[in-house]
Structure 1
């Protein structure tokens, strides 16, 4: 039978607890991804969105003018969204961990009258991402 002195056992338990705390902290700090979609269409124009990954369906949400739908997650998922309003619709990848099209941990999107825009969250700089196509009924 292996014997441990109480001081060695205490040091070992302390080391394990510190290691567990560090692992937990590293999975929280810097690993979280944030996505936000904002309705910037026009006063009185609602935006309907439906976003999902392979494992997580966020449901259908209706956003009034200037309202946002934010979500956060810690995995390396691909989140695809269908967005539509009275005069158009589009599908796009709101977050793509592979970074094939872009790479962000804070991904901001804005639906405007002429198109869907990718917005740099920190600066507000925006680029046209998808033009609207004729609307179809949201059934996804």
Structure 2
């Protein structure tokens, strides 16, 4: 079921919280490196140790790209992914507008409640 977008949300934007958590179980010597940007902003890079997280607010507007791309690097492995994409996430981030990623050695998992995790893709 698609969430109904109110006209005021379309004009003034809706704010989402996007969070990426390092969920690796044993990478104390190799951090998970994340770098996020879009057409409007470069959030820079961070090195996340086990259980560290990186979060930001994302406000959607009809005049912006409504997309935040991130590159993840773990040891020699790299993966680019859409950390936030309004057309995909506007409804699935839930009523609290919370979009959380848990990145593990087994892949990228998404949740809007920090309880139920769904695997979106592999490394």
Q: Same fold (TM over 0.5)?
A: yes
Q: Please point out which of 84, 98, 117 is paired with 2:109.
A: 117
Contact 1:97 1:103 in 2 (8 A): no
Give the direction of change, closer, same or farther, for the CA distance of 1:130–1:83 in structure 2 (3 Å limit): same
Ranked by relative contact order (alpha carbons within 8 Å, sequence separation 6 or more), the top structure is: 2
Structure 2 equivalent of residue 129 of structure 1: 120
Give the direction of change, closer, same or farther, for the CA distance of 1:71–1:111 in structure 2 (3 Å limit): same
Contact 1:96 1:102 in 2 (8 A): no
Contact 1:96 1:103 in 2 (8 A): no
Deviation string 1:64-84 (CA, Å, 9 cap, x unpaired) is: 100000100322410011111
Cα shift at 1:100 = 7.6
Deviation string 1:109-131 (CA, Å, 9 cap, x unpaired) is: 0111111111x231521122221
Contact 1:39 1:66 in 2 (8 A): yes
Contact 1:48 1:63 in 2 (8 A): yes
| Structure with a larger share of its residues in strand | 2
| Structure with a larger share of its residues in helix | 1
Q: TM-score, normalised by structure 1?
A: 0.65
Contact 1:35 1:108 in 2 (8 A): yes
Count, aligned residues: 105
Cα shift at 1:46 = 1.1
Instruction: Give ranges in structure 1 of 5+ residues lacking alignment.
Output: 1-22, 133-140
Structure 2 equivalent of residue 69 of structure 1: 54
Structure 2 equivalent of residue 38 of structure 1: 21
